[in-house]
Amino acid sequence: MADKKLLNLVQSKAKTWLESNIDSESKKDIENLIQNNEPELIESFYKDLEFGTGGLRGIMGIGTNRMNIYTVGMATQGLSNYLKQQFANKKSIKVAIAYDSRNNSRLFAEKTASVFSANGIKVYLFENLRPTPELSFAIRHFNCQSGVVVTASHNPKEYNGYKVYWEDGGQIISPHDKNIITEVQKITNVSNIQFDDSLKNVEIIGEKIDKKYINELSKLSLNPKVIKKQKDLKIVYTPIHGTGVELVPKILQVYGFENITVVEEQKIPDGNFPTVKSPNPEEPAALELALKKAKEIDADIVMATDPDGDRVGIAVKNNNNEFILLNGNQAAALLINYLISQWKDKGKLKGKEYIVKTIVTSELLKDIADKYNVECYDVLTGFKYIADIIKQKEGKKKFIGGGEESYGYLAGEFVRDKDAVMSCALLAETAAWAKNNGKTLYQELIDIYVEFGFYKEKLISIVKKGKSGAEEIQKMMDNFRNKPPQTINNSNVMLIHDFDKQKTFDQLSHLRYEINLPKSNVLQFILKDGSKISIRPSGTEPKIKFYFGVHGKLEKREDFEKVNKLLDDKIDDIIKSLGIN
């Protein structure tokens, strides 16, 4: 039985919606929940769907805590009000809107366009689904003040989302995120939303922007002559029923690759994602069909993008000719090493170049940058912080590339979010370059480990759904924060980085140091043996994430399996020591 106070609150919010001017079908859905499904009624109305890491994301359905045309409309009305405050001096405020293949994405995109239009804001709406990074590109191309992409990224099919971008093409950060939330919270009733079903201020965009975007992507290629020699590199690609099918095969062809196989069963956009349990390229199951095809044709590389085309998963052949999946840190290391080394070879390093990674991404990227005297910036988890560094350094320093362990990478400065279309092209080029040097990508990765040290990472995500799950996650964070371990796996905890308190605690000297990054609910333990453990609740899913990073020496290629097992065992021992399961 639900808490009476909570139930009264939920029923009051549901009644407010029933008495508003929402459509009759939505009213029937609410009445059905009231009469037949109290637990779902509570989940749907116990809170308002909040902006997380740059927008809305939630399960689709009716209610204040669900993704539907009214929560989308309220968010857009609040955003419209904020834009009109921020850009009151502009004659015309402009926004761009894109959407992915998820169920209701087109509907939510049109409703978003309708609200902007009703508020006198000029809208550039893509004609059909497009990858998220092209939305970032379009914002900059049209000199927009904001943008929205309707997507829940790699979440399960029940979810949809709404990511908000600012005029630089990056996702919103403080203070805009908090200020937009404030404005959205002022929209207390769906009757406060302005709709314009005629879409009078909406312009449909598509192929012309595709061509301009692809043209910019093509300029990132560093070794077109190498690709010409390796044009028959066997590539298997799957969009996992998402937006990548629009542009990934096209950019690979523009780069000069001629042997591209798209997984037939997954090339049709479909929000039900019928061939996978979850359309997440971080999960091996999502690549099963692609790997099957790769074995059939003896491919060199397998690539899979998520529904909105901003993340990419990679598989390569090991020394036994078996396909293995690379994690995000490994793909990032291959890409960053290729980019920086080729910038060096081509005389493009002038002493003002930099890369960016997130605090939970492998330190290997910094080691690679250090070798070439390229600066490496650490930022909080979330590509919006990488975009912010690019914005800060624009015109002063040159961004080579950046990445995060969760399969997102970027090169160049014309897009300000992770870009799987770009990443597929550049990772294919990296594979062609390695092959031209007589190596597979797998062997290239091992050679990187021999040179810089063998970095091994693992991520564990613990799912805790609903209101009670959110409370459990918070309790876990409180316990780690208030009673931090003194030793982990028999190694002393030397430093504790508490990004919520913005303090580093030196356990040896008992001194405290400021962390010059925004507040974030993240804890990091640095051990005496160099191991790094990071803990953070997800901003977009009901999960708490544990990141483990260890490293050791790899003297020669032949020792790879032995050292790999030692590092795997070390991570397992750390997990046991923390009591995580």
Task: Give the pTM.
Answer: 0.94
Contacts of 203 (CB under 8 A, 6+ apart): 122, 123, 124, 125
pLDDT tier at 425 (50, 70, 90 boundaries)?
A: very high
Give the pLDDT confidence score for residue 49 in this predicted structure.
Answer: 85
Give residue for tokens 């509570």. 42
Give the pLDDT confidence score for residue 4 in this predicted structure.
Answer: 87
Share of the chain above pLDDT 70, in %: 99
For the beta carbon of residue 276, count every other beta carbon within 10 angstroms: 21
Give residue for tokens 């109290």. 38
Phi, psi of 397 (to 5 degrees): -135, 165
Give the pLDDT confidence score for residue 281 in this predicted structure.
Answer: 96
pLDDT tier at 576 (50, 70, 90 boundaries)?
A: very high
pLDDT above 90: residue 517: yes
DSSP class per residue in 82-101: HHHHHTTT-S--EEEEEE-S
For 48, the token pair is: 């308002």
* pLDDT, tens only, 560-572: 999 999 999 999 9
Give residue for tokens 């910019």. 216
Share of the chain above pLDDT 90, in %: 91
Least confident among 155-169, 177-191, 266-280, 525-539: 177-191
For residue 557, give the DSSP letter.
G
Give the pLDDT confidence score for residue 580 in this predicted structure.
Answer: 87
Give the pLDDT confidence score for residue 328 in this predicted structure.
Answer: 97
pLDDT above 70: residue 148: yes
Q: Residue 14: which of 187, 184, 38 has the closest Cα?
A: 38
* pLDDT, tens only, 518-550: 999 999 999 999 999 999 998 667 899 999 999
Give the pLDDT confidence score for residue 2 in this predicted structure.
Answer: 63
Q: Residue 193: which of 71, 64, 86, 87 has the closest Cα?
A: 71
Q: Considering 153, 362, 423, 531, which one is annotated as catalytic?
A: 153
Give the pLDDT confidence score for residue 94 in this predicted structure.
Answer: 98
Are the C-beta atoms of 229 and 202 separated by less than 8 Å?
A: no
**Average pLDDT, integer, range 15-43:** 94
**Average pLDDT, integer, range 510-520:** 94
Average pLDDT, whole number, for the chain? 95
pLDDT tier at 342 (50, 70, 90 boundaries)?
A: very high
Are the C-beta atoms of 510 and 501 separated by less than 8 Å?
A: no
pLDDT above 70: residue 118: yes
Helix (H, G, I), strand (E, B) or coil at 200: coil
**Average pLDDT, integer, range 363-386:** 97
pLDDT above 60: residue 156: yes
* pLDDT, tens only, 26-38: 999 999 999 999 9
* pLDDT, tens only, 50-73: 766 578 999 999 999 999 999 999
**Average pLDDT, integer, range 381-390:** 95
- Please give the C-alpha separations between residue 311 and each of 295, 307, 376, in angstroms, as whole numbers: 23, 9, 22
Least confident among 85-89, 121-125, 190-194, 395-399: 190-194
**Average pLDDT, integer, range 503-517:** 95
Told to judge if 153 belongs to the known catalytic residues of this protein, a careful annotator would answer yes
Give the pLDDT confidence score for residue 195 in this predicted structure.
Answer: 96
Give the pLDDT confidence score for residue 51 in this predicted structure.
Answer: 65
Give the pLDDT confidence score for residue 383 in this predicted structure.
Answer: 94
Could you tell me how far CA 20 lies from the centroid of its own chain? 36
CA distance 567 to 561: 10
pLDDT tier at 297 (50, 70, 90 boundaries)?
A: very high
**Average pLDDT, integer, range 15-31:** 94
The H or E element containing residue 226 is: helix 224-229
Length of the chain: 581
